[in-house]
Amino acid sequence: MLPEVVLSYLTQAAEEARTELPDRNSSLFLSGVLDSFALVDFVALLESKCGVRVDDAELRPENFDTIAKVEAFVQRARGEV
Amino acid sequence: MSCYITACGAALPDRVVTNAELARWLEVTPEWIEANSGIRERRWAGAEQSTSDLAAAAVSDALNDAGMSAGQIDYLIGCTLSPDYQVPGIAPLVQRKLAGCRQVPAVDLRAGCAAMLYSLQLAGGLIAAGAANDIVCFGAEAQSKGLDLARRSAELSMLFGDGAGAVVVSREPRHGRGLPLEIKDVLIAADGNFAEDLTVRAPGTANGPRWFDAEQRAERLHHPAMNGRSVILHAVRKLADAAIEVTTRNGVSLDQIDLIIPHQANANLLRSLGNRLKVSEERIVVNVDRYGNTSGASAFLALWQAQRERRLRPGSHALILAFAAGFTWGAALCRVGQPPGQG
C-alpha cells in the first residue's frame, strides 16, 4: 500500500488533468494523470516518501504506469518481495 | 585542465518556421506545441543549405570574434547528428570551406546533444598533451531534413530547429566579443543501456542485411524516434546530478553559479531542472522559444547567446549542461575571465 501522501499526489494530479484517478491496474499515463514532467516529480516523491532509491536501471516509465506497478516496485525496492 | 573558450560564433538559417506553420503538418495546434515545448518558432535550413554550410559560417563567426584567421586553427572537432553525408564526416567538409585552413586534423565526434561537452574535454586533453594550441569545436544541425512531418511524430518533430554554433578553445586567454571562459572541469558520462530510447536507426547495420532498404523506409527507421518519458526522467536526474557533482568536486556551490547554460531540449525540461536544482529561471539561459532544440548545436548556441547578451560577469562561474541520446550527458564548470587589462 502506498503512503497517503503519494496517493494524494496522484489524486491531485488527476484533478489538475480534469480526469478520474484510474483503478489500480489502469495506466496513469494513458489516463492523463501523469505526463512526462509530472512523472519526474512523482518518482522524486516516491524516493522521499517511501524511503527507496530508484536506481538508473529501474528508472523506466513502465515501472510507474499503474498504481499496482508502483506498489510492486516500492516493495521490490524495499526488499519486501 | 587549463584552457579557455576564447570566442563564440553562430549561424542560423534565414527561414523561420512558426508553430502555426508546423502545426498544420503535424495536425496539432500551435498552442499545443508551445504548451508542450515552450517553443514558438525555430529555424530550418534551406533546400540547398547543408549542415556544413551552417557549420562553416558559425566557425567563421567564431574566428572573427577571436581575431583569428582559419590558418591559425590547429585542430577541428565537429559535432552533428545530421551530417552532409554518411562518409566523410562533417569536419573535413567544414575544413574545406574555411579559406586558408591548413591540413590540420578534422574529426567528427558523435555524442548527440552532449557533444559540446565531449568536445571541450577532448580539446582540453589535446591542449594539455601539447597537440594543439587553438582548437575549433563546432556543433551544427539540419535536423529538419529528417523529420517525420506527421501527427504520429508530432511530439518529436515539433522540437527541432537547425543552426550551428562554434567556439575557439585556446591554451591562453584572449578577448573576443565576450569574456574568456576558463574551463575548470568537464564531467562527461554515458549509459548505453538506454541507447534505443532516442534513435535514428537507419541507415544502420543493426537493421538486417542492408543498411537501408524499402522495408526500413516503410517502418520510418530513418526518422528520429524517442521514448519521451524515459528521456525526460533520466535527463532531469542526470543533469542535476552532473551539476552537483562537478561543482562539489571543485569546491563551488550551486549558489556561486551565476549562469547555467544548458542544452535547449525543451522549456518544460529546463523548468523542471531549475526546480530540482533550486535555481531561479533568470540564472538559466533559454533560447529554445526562438530556435527550438538544435541538438548538437544547442549548447554552443546557448553559450553564444549568453556572451552576446553579456550575461557573464567577470570572475563569476558558469555551468554548461547537456543530456543526449546514448544516453550521454555531462557538465562543464567554467570561470569567467576579466576584461582586457584587468586580467
C-beta of residue B156 within 8 angstroms of C-beta of residue B304:
no
Rounded to whole angstroms, the Cα distance separating B222 from B338 reads 47
Instruction: Encode pLDDT of B213-231 as tens digits.
Output: 999 999 999 999 999 999 9
Q: Which residues pair with B323 in a beta bridge?
A: B329
Position B120 pLDDT exceeds 90 = yes
Indicate the pLDDT class of residue A80, thresholds 50, 70 and 90. confident
Give the pLDDT confidence score for residue B227 in this predicted structure.
Answer: 94
Residues B18, B19, B23, B24, Cα dihedral to 10°: -30
Position B172 pLDDT exceeds 80 = yes
Strand order of the β-sheet with B106-108 is: B106-108, B75-79, B134-141, B163-170, B4-11, B181-190, B328-336, B317-324, B257-262
The closest of B119, B138, B101 to B304, measured between CA atoms, is: B138
Rounded to whole angstroms, the Cα distance separating B326 from B274 reads 23
Lowest mean pLDDT among A33-47, A63-77, B20-34, B165-179: B165-179
Indicate the pLDDT class of residue B343, thresholds 50, 70 and 90. low
Is the four-CA dihedral B108, B10, B319, B261 of positive or negative sign? negative
The one-character DSSP state at A37 is H
Taking one residue from A and the other from B, the number of pairs with CB-CB distance under 8 angstroms is 35
If you average pLDDT over every residue of chain B, what do you get?
95
A61 vs B: CB within 8 A: yes
Give the pLDDT confidence score for residue B342 in this predicted structure.
Answer: 62
Segments forming the whole domain that contains residue A65: 4-77
Position B341 pLDDT exceeds 90 = no
Residue B15 dihedral angles phi and psi, to the nearest 5°: -70, 120
* Mean pLDDT confidence for B71-97: 97
Position B68 pLDDT exceeds 80 = yes
Suggest the residue from A16, A28, A30, A36 to mutate for an interface test with chain B (most B CBs closer than 10 A).
Answer: A36
* Mean pLDDT confidence for B207-212: 93
* Mean pLDDT confidence for B204-221: 94
B192 vs A: CB within 8 A: no
Give the pLDDT confidence score for residue B2 in this predicted structure.
Answer: 81
Instruction: Considering only residues A79 and B120, tell me which one the structure prediction assigns the higher pLDDT.
Output: B120
Start-to-end CA span in chain A (Å): 13
Rounded to whole angstroms, the Cα distance separating A63 from A65 reads 6
DSSP line for B40-59: SEEEE--TT--HHHHHHHHH
Give the pLDDT confidence score for residue B263 in this predicted structure.
Answer: 97
Residues B140, B142, B143, B149, Cα dihedral to 10°: 160
For position A22, which CATH number holds?
1.10.1200.10
Q: How far is residue B104 from each of residues A5, B8, B33, B75, B306, measured CA to CA in Å? A: 60, 20, 43, 6, 30
DSSP line for B109-127: ---GGGHHHHHHHHHHHHH
Instruction: Give the number of domains in chain A.
Output: 1
C-beta of residue B295 within 8 angstroms of C-beta of residue B160:
yes
Q: CB count, 10 Å around CB of B112?
A: 21
Give the pLDDT confidence score for residue B340 in this predicted structure.
Answer: 65
Q: Measured between beta carbons, which residues in chain A are less than 8 angstroms from residue B237?
A: 40, 56, 59
Position B175 pLDDT exceeds 70 = no
Rounded to whole angstroms, the Cα distance separating B68 from B79 reads 21
Instruction: Encode pLDDT of A34-52 as tens digits.
Output: 999 999 999 999 999 998 9
A55 vs B: CB within 8 A: no
Give the pLDDT confidence score for residue B1 in this predicted structure.
Answer: 63
Instruction: Encode pLDDT of B292-333 as tens digits.
Output: 999 999 999 999 999 999 999 999 999 999 999 999 999 999
Cell, residue A27 = 495506466
The closest of B227, B339, A15 to A7, measured between CA atoms, is: A15
Exposure class string for B158-191: b at 16+ Cβ within 10 A, else e: bbbbbbbbbbbbbbebbbbbbbbbbbbbbbbbbe
Position A65 pLDDT exceeds 70 = yes
A36 vs B: CB within 8 A: yes
Query: What ipTM score was computed for the predicted complex, to two decimals?
Result: 0.92
Rounded to whole angstroms, the Cα distance separating A46 from B264 reads 28
The one-character DSSP state at B134 is E
Residue A54 dihedral angles phi and psi, to the nearest 5°: -90, 105
| Helix, strand, coil fractions of chain A, as percent rounded to 5 | 55, 0, 45
Q: Report pTM.
A: 0.95
Q: Measured between beta carbons, which residues in chain A are less than 8 angstroms from residue B230?
A: 59-61
Residues of B designated catalytic: 113, 263, 293
